[in-house]
Amino acid sequence: MPSDLSLHQRRRLPTDAELDGIPWFRLLGPAERKRAMADMRVSHATPSDLMCRVGKPSTYWFGVIEGLLKMSTDNVQGQTMTFAGIPTGGWFGEGTLLKREPYRYNIQPLRNSVVAGVPVETFHWLLDHSIAFNRFVMDQLNERLAQFIAAREIDRMSSPDLRVARNLAALFNPVLYPAVGQILRITQQELAYLVGLSRQRVNEALAMLEAQGTIRVEYGGLRVLQLDALRFGTNSERNDRRA
């Protein structure tokens, strides 16, 4: 496919295998599936593509078929603040579409990714016709709220090790990112982009977490061994905070 085509121009219909991997699609009834399948589009996104831009109209509900995206914004000083990483299986933007407001964040792939989009009108049609879809979106919103509250706490943490641990825990969220499972396909450089630390400092934090038995670094990714320890810290860390 020519590389000079835009993300929108590269769009295509989803394959059966891609549809099977979408968590909310299998919850729909026959009529809702037919509508979603007809209107959904899939595209190959590169790190040079800006899928969503602050201030632009919200036109699609997006999901990650395969890959890794970064949700961020820039402050008045030009500094980038990352809200979340979105790995394979994640869908995002439902709150923006519900309010039909412009995007308040930028979305950019950290690597070559396959992304899906459901038009805003189809998204609202599914809400009007499917109780199961409503439940899925409600669970997404509830979990996303908790994620952003945690992100505010992470921003105030002075310990780089804790910042890495909490950001990893967010990427292993089983509700928002059910396709991740126990192994997250991510490089240390990609994690550094999400956490806002140097690759060397992220490497040191990962070594510490592995020594604690919280994670295991494997070829091409990370395996979580103790998700609660990533989320809340070890017993000694919790005792230190109480003190």
**What CATH number is attached to the domain comprising 110?**
2.60.120.10
Q: Does residue 77 sit in the same domain as residue 128?
A: yes
Segment among 57-71, 115-129, 227-241 with least mean pLDDT: 227-241
Region 52-65 average pLDDT: 95
Residue where a domain stops, chosen among 152, 171, 200: 152
How many domains would you assign to the chain?
2
Task: Count the Cβ atoms, other than its own, within 10 Å of residue 103.
Answer: 19
Tokens of 191: 């994690």
Q: What percent of the chain has pLDDT over 90?
A: 64
Q: Which residue has the tokens 């070559």?
A: 112
Q: Are strands 80-87 and 68-74 parallel, antiparallel or unpaired?
A: antiparallel
pLDDT recorded at residue 7: 87
CB 11 within 8 A of CB 41: yes
pLDDT recorded at residue 162: 86
Q: Classify each residue of 121-144 as buried b or exposed e, where b means 16 or more C-beta atoms within 10 Å of its C-beta.
A: ebbebbeeebeebeebbeebeeeb
pLDDT recorded at residue 82: 81
Q: How confident is the model at residue 236 (pLDDT cuts 50, 70, 90)?
A: very low
Tokens of 166: 């909490």
Q: Does residue 8 form part of some domain?
A: no
Reply yes or no on whether the pLDDT at 140 is more than 50: yes
Q: Does residue 138 sit in the same domain as residue 22?
A: yes
pLDDT recorded at residue 152: 67
Q: Does residue 108 sit in the same domain as residue 193?
A: no
Domain that holds residue 83: 16-152
What is this structure's pTM? 0.84
Tell me the pLDDT tens digit for each residue of 161-214: 888 998 898 899 888 998 888 889 999 999 999 888 899 999 999 999 999 999
Q: Classify each residue of 18-31 as buried b or exposed e, where b means 16 or more C-beta atoms within 10 Å of its C-beta.
A: bbebbbbbeebeee
Q: Does residue 20 sit in the same domain as residue 140?
A: yes
pLDDT recorded at residue 240: 46
In this structure, the dihedral spanned by the alpha carbons of residues 126, 62, 162 and 211, taken in order and rounded to 10 degrees, is 100
Which of 21-35, 65-79, 143-157, 169-183 ranks highest by mean pLDDT? 21-35
Region 125-131 average pLDDT: 97
Q: Does residue 23 form part of some domain?
A: yes
pLDDT recorded at residue 84: 86
Q: Does residue 142 sit in the same domain as residue 40?
A: yes
Tell me the pLDDT tens digit for each residue of 91-125: 999 999 999 999 999 999 999 999 999 999 999 99
Residue where a domain stops, chosen among 152, 180, 210: 152
Q: Does residue 211 form part of some domain?
A: yes
